[in-house]
Amino acid sequence: MARMVQEKGGGFDVVVVGAGITGAGVARDAALRGLKVCLLDQHDLGSGTTWGSSGMIHGGLRYIEYDWETTRVSCLDGGYIKRIAPHLLFPVVFLLPIYPDDPFGIEKKETALEVYDRFQPYKAGRPHVRLSAAEALALEPGLRPGLRGAVTMDEWGVDAARLVALNALGAREAGAEVRTYTEVIGVAREGTRVTGVQVRSRLTGAVETVAARVVCNAAGPWGPALAGMAGASLKLRPAKGVHLIYDRRISNCALGVEAIDGRDLLLVPHSNQTIVGTTDDDFYGDPEHLEVTDDEVEYILQAFERVLPSIRQHRIAHANAAVRPTLYEWRRYEDDLSREYEVFDHGTRDGVPGLVSIAGGKMSMFRKMAEDTVDVLLRVLGLPFVPTSTHTAPLPGGESTVDVAEVAGNFGLPLPVAQRLVARHGARAEALMGDAEPEDRRALLCECEPVTRGELRYVVRTESVERLEDLYRRVRCTGGACLGMRCAWPAARLLGEEKGWNARRVAEEVHDFLDARWLQRPSVVRGATAAQEQLYRGAVYALGEVCDPAPAAEHVAAPVLAAGD
Ligand SMILES: Cc1cc2nc3c(=O)[nH]c(=O)nc-3n(C[C@H](O)[C@H](O)[C@H](O)COP(=O)(O)OP(=O)(O)OC[C@H]3O[C@@H](n4cnc5c(N)ncnc54)[C@H](O)[C@@H]3O)c2cc1C
DSSP 157-220: EE-HHHHHHHHHHHHHHTT-EEESSEEEEEEEEETTEEEEEEEEETTT--EEEEEEEEEEE--G
Strands 149-158, 56-57: pairing is antiparallel
Distances (CA, A) of 122 to 75, 82, 117, 118, 488: 6, 10, 10, 8, 42
Average pLDDT over residues 221-225: 98
* pLDDT number for residue 545: 54
- 241 three-class SS: strand
Lowest mean pLDDT among 405-419, 493-507, 516-530: 516-530
Question: Could you tell me which residue, 375 or 532, shows the higher pLDDT?
Answer: 375
Q: Residue 226 CA: which ligand 1 atom is closest?
A: 41
Centre of ligand 1 from the C-alpha of residue 195, in Å: 25
- 464 three-class SS: coil
* pLDDT number for residue 524: 80
Long-range contacts of 435-444 (CB under 8 A, 24+ apart): 441/411, 441/412, 441/413, 442/411, 442/412, 442/413, 442/556, 442/557, 442/559, 443/551, 443/555, 443/556, 443/557, 444/417, 444/555, 444/556, 444/557
The single-letter code of the amino acid at 196 is G
Which of 33, 39, 38 has the alpha carbon at shortest distance from 18? 39
Q: Residue 280 CA: which ligand 1 atom is closest?
A: 1
Average pLDDT over residues 359-364: 97
Q: What span, in angstroms and rounded, lies between the C-alpha atoms of 93 and 251?
A: 11
Q: How far apart are the first and last CA of the chain?
A: 66
Centre of ligand 1 from the C-alpha of residue 86, in Å: 22
pLDDT above 70: percentage of residues in the chain = 94
Full-model pTM: 0.94
* pLDDT number for residue 156: 97
Average pLDDT over residues 161-182: 98
For CA atoms 366, 61, 50, 261, give the dihedral sign.
Answer: positive
Contact (CB, 8 A) for 343 and 368 = no
User: φ and ψ at 378, to 5 degrees?
Assistant: -60, -40
Query: Quick check: 553 pLDDT over 70?
Result: no
Q: What span, in angstroms and rounded, lies between the C-alpha atoms of 301 and 114?
A: 30
Q: Residue 21 CA: which ligand 1 atom is closest?
A: 25
Q: Could you give the angle at the alpha carbon of 321 between the alpha carbons of 317 and 322, nearest 5°?
A: 140
* pLDDT number for residue 562: 39
Centre of ligand 1 from the C-alpha of residue 225, in Å: 15
Q: How many residues does the chain have?
A: 565
Residue 537 pLDDT grade (very low, low, confident, very high; cuts 50, 70, 90): confident
Best mutation site among 70, 286, 324 for ligand 1, i.e. most ligand atoms within 8 A of its Cβ? 324
User: Which protein residues touch ligand 1 with a CB less than 6 Å away?
Assistant: 17-23, 40-43, 47-50, 52-56, 183-184, 218-222, 226, 241, 278, 322, 324-325, 361-364
Average pLDDT over residues 528-557: 68
Best mutation site among 39, 44, 47, 50 for ligand 1, i.e. most ligand atoms within 8 A of its Cβ? 50
Best mutation site among 21, 28, 39, 49 for ligand 1, i.e. most ligand atoms within 8 A of its Cβ? 49
Q: Residue 44 CA: which ligand 1 atom is closest?
A: 49
Which of 557, 555, 551 has the alpha carbon at shortest distance from 442? 557
- Could you give the dihedral angle defined by the CA atoms of residues 73, 78, 84 and 88, in that order, rounded to the nearest 10 degrees? 150
Average pLDDT over residues 51-63: 91
Average pLDDT over residues 14-38: 98
* pLDDT number for residue 558: 58
Contact (CB, 8 A) for 19 and 441 = no
What is the pLDDT of the chain when averaged over all its residues?
91
Best mutation site among 197, 199, 222, 263 for ligand 1, i.e. most ligand atoms within 8 A of its Cβ? 222
- 480 three-class SS: coil
Residue 232 pLDDT grade (very low, low, confident, very high; cuts 50, 70, 90): very high
Query: Quick check: 560 pLDDT over 80?
Result: no
H helix or E strand, kind and range, residue 424: helix 415-425
The residue whose C-alpha atom lies closest to atom 33 belonging to ligand 1 is 18
Query: Quick check: 163 pLDDT over 50?
Result: yes
Query: Quick check: 333 pLDDT over 90?
Result: no
At 251-306, the pLDDT tens digits run 999 999 999 999 999 999 998 899 999 999 999 999 999 999 999 999 999 999 99
Q: What span, in angstroms and rounded, lies between the C-alpha atoms of 422 and 430?
A: 8
Contact (CB, 8 A) for 490 and 555 = no
